[in-house]
């Protein structure tokens, strides 16, 4: 029998419908599928709490907290900045992160070029997340606080990395409450100068401090001169964070700079921290000196990946060469 064109279309349409309908049904099922991974994670965290920390307090959304040690210091009051240490593990005991050098070494994760210091930041829900904020807000300095944290709860993202649906046990240790970070920095600078045993002169309206270690005998550097230097940058505790001296960088495990000399000039001033502008003025070539630069003329209250907020810096500098500006 010869089928007409109109009759041939019908079985084809029915066949396509039969194939498409199950796909549509499965798609609907996928959209309605419960988040079993999240449920499994929460069930495991609850079981872990009941087994290991039965006295811990549940505070909602699967989070629990427990005071491991009571602090004796002041509480957080008003606006300000907080310094705190932490260590974090997943429920299998896998180390995730810490600010404590001793803990990093215990877990075989110590890195020579990492500066192990407390987290230091403006105390707000935006910076800490609700759970960290509320837990730390009611604690005294010197406390030791344990938090069981499901992966879906917001927390400071820069502290550690963990896999999806992986709960974390985090111990928080608030150290110091700082209501006035600028005044706190000035105190740090004054204490550093007093303990150094060196004589420092003030530059840039006295905000930068400078002391000569070895006086040079070359050309006197004046305003707008172009200067080439070697340098080593340190935190106040003596930890090296940057240098263009190859041997020193290799010794401390820092990345090597392509240029062995750093050029300071009016043209390059926009690419360097403000504190380096005119830092060599009044000194001679072959002079070795130290400069103490406050955060306002370095990386400010935000810092960067290496430098913390409100971080004063010490640079040890050697002037290797200088040139006077070209006359028109």
Indicate which CATH number applies to the domain containing 81: 3.10.50.40
Separation of alpha carbons 121 and 128, rounded Å: 9
Q: Indicate whether 268 belongs to any domain.
A: yes
76 shares a domain with 121: yes
Separation of alpha carbons 276 and 208, rounded Å: 10
Contact yes or no for 147/64 (Cβ under 8 A): yes
Q: Indicate whether 31 belongs to any domain.
A: no
Separation of alpha carbons 238 and 292, rounded Å: 12
CA distances from residue 302 to 89, 130, 243 in whole angstroms, order as listed: 27, 21, 22
196 shares a domain with 109: no
Tokens of 14: 């029915």
- Exposed/middle/buried for 130, CB within 10 Å: 0-12, 13-18, 19+? middle
pLDDT for the residue numbered 35: 56
**Mind listing the pLDDT tens digit for each residue in 73-124?**
999 988 999 999 999 999 999 999 999 999 999 999 999 989 999 999 999 9
Per-residue pLDDT 10s for the chain (328 aa) are: 333 334 444 444 444 444 444 444 344 444 554 555 889 999 999 999 999 999 999 999 999 999 999 999 999 988 999 999 999 999 999 999 999 999 999 999 999 989 999 999 999 999 999 999 999 999 999 999 999 999 999 888 889 988 888 999 999 999 999 999 999 999 999 999 999 999 999 988 789 999 999 999 999 999 999 999 999 999 999 999 999 999 999 998 898 888 789 999 988 888 899 999 999 999 999 999 999 999 999 999 999 988 999 999 999 999 999 999 987 6
188 shares a domain with 116: no
Separation of alpha carbons 33 and 61, rounded Å: 20
Q: What is the DSSP string of 216-239?
A: --SPBP-TT-EEEEEEEEE-TTS-
Contact yes or no for 90/169 (Cβ under 8 A): yes
Q: Indicate whether 11 belongs to any domain.
A: no
The neighbouring-strand residues paired with 318 are 230, 288
pLDDT for the residue numbered 73: 95
Tokens of 124: 């707000």
pLDDT for the residue numbered 16: 41
Q: Indicate whether 30 belongs to any domain.
A: no
Separation of alpha carbons 75 and 58, rounded Å: 22
pLDDT for the residue numbered 185: 97
Query: Cβ neighbours of residue 252 under 8 Å, at least 6 residues apart?
Result: 112, 113, 240, 243
pLDDT for the residue numbered 328: 65
Q: Indicate whether 271 belongs to any domain.
A: yes
pLDDT for the residue numbered 13: 42
Separation of alpha carbons 126 and 120, rounded Å: 14
Last-in-domain residue among 147, 178, 209: 178
**H or E segment and range at residue 39:** helix 36-52
144 shares a domain with 189: no
Q: Indicate whether 27 belongs to any domain.
A: no
**H or E segment and range at residue 194:** helix 181-196
Nearest to 155 by CA among 84, 78, 55: 84
Nearest to 89 by CA among 166, 175, 165: 166
Backbone angles phi, psi at 325, to 5 degrees: -65, 145
pLDDT for the residue numbered 305: 86
164 shares a domain with 64: yes
207 shares a domain with 139: no
pLDDT for the residue numbered 36: 58
Strand (E) positions, the chain?
57-60, 63-69, 81-90, 95-98, 119-122, 144-149, 168-178, 201-203, 208-214, 226-234, 240-243, 262-264, 288-293, 313-323
Q: Indicate whether 115 belongs to any domain.
A: yes
pLDDT for the residue numbered 27: 43
Q: State if pTM tops 0.75.
A: yes
164 shares a domain with 195: no
Number of domains in the chain: 2
Q: Indicate whether 29 belongs to any domain.
A: no
| Domain span including residue 288 | 181-323
């Amino acid at each position: 029998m010869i089928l007409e064109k109109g009759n041939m279309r019908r079985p084809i349409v029915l066949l396509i419908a039969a194939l498409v309908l199950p796909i549509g049904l499965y798609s609907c099922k996928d959209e309605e599928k419960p988040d079993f991974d999240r449920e499994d994670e929460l069930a495991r965290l609850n079981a872990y709490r009941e087994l290991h920390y039965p006295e811990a307090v549940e505070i909602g959304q699967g989070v629990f907290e427990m005071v491991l040690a009571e602090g004796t210091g002041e509480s957080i009051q008003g606006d300000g900045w907080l310094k705190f240490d932490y260590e974090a593990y997943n429920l299998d005991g896998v180390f995730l992160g810490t600010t404590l050098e001793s803990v990093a070494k215990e877990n075989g994760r110590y890195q020579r070029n990492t500066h192990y210091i407390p987290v230091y930041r403006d105390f707000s829900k935006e910076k800490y997340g609700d759970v960290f904020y509320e837990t730390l807000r009611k604690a005294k300095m010197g406390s030791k606080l344990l938090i069981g944290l499901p992966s879906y709860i917001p927390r400071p993202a820069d502290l550690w990395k963990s896999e999806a649906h992986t709960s974390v046990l985090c111990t928080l240790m608030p150290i110091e409450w700082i209501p006035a970070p600028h005044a706190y920095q000035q105190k740090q600078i004054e204490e550093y100068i007093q303990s150094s045993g060196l004589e420092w002169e003030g530059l840039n309206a006295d905000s930068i401090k400078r002391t000569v270690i070895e006086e040079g005998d070359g050309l006197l550097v004046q305003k707008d001169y172009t200067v080439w230097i070697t340098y080593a940058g340190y935190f106040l505790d003596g930890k090296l964070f940057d240098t263009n001296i190859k041997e020193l960088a290799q010794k401390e495990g820092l990345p090597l700079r392509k240029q062995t000399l750093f050029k300071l000039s009016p043209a390059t001033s926009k690419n360097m921290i403000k504190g380096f502008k005119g830092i060599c003025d009044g000194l001679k070539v072959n002079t070795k000196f130290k400069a103490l630069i406050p955060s306002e003329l370095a990386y400010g209250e935000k810092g960067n990946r290496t430098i913390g907020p409100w971080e004063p810096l010490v640079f040890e500098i050697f002037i290797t060469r200088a040139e006077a500006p070209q006359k028109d």
